[in-house]
Amino acid sequence: MAEVKRKKGETFEALIRRFSKKIQQSGRLIQSRKIRYYNPEKNKTAIRAAAKRRQEITAKREYLKKIGKLVEEKERDGRR
């Protein structure tokens, strides 16, 4: 972490400016932005399990639609 001490007679705005500059120069900001939305790749087993789950849900929904037990909600003005 960057450490900045207030100089005698220095305004708070100048202190913040110095701190921000020090953070940018250290590269911490870029590093944190890189890893912020990192999602590790799933393994093959997890991908296949998710695909199977989606397939089963779709099949169940289609079945319920065919027998008339599933009533689709109508969208109003493009919103749900």
**Tally of structural domains, the chain:** 2
Name the DSSP letter for residue 2: -
Closest residue by Cα to residue 1 from 24, 33, 23: 23
pTM (2 decimals)?
0.45
Range of the domain at 24: 9-38
Residue 77 CB neighbour total at 10 angstroms: 4
15-72: pLDDT as tens digits: 999 999 999 999 888 888 889 888 889 999 999 999 999 999 999 999 999 998 887 7
Tokens 């590790």 locate to: 40
Q: Is residue 3 part of a domain?
A: no
Same domain, 48 and 28: no
pLDDT at 76 over 80: no
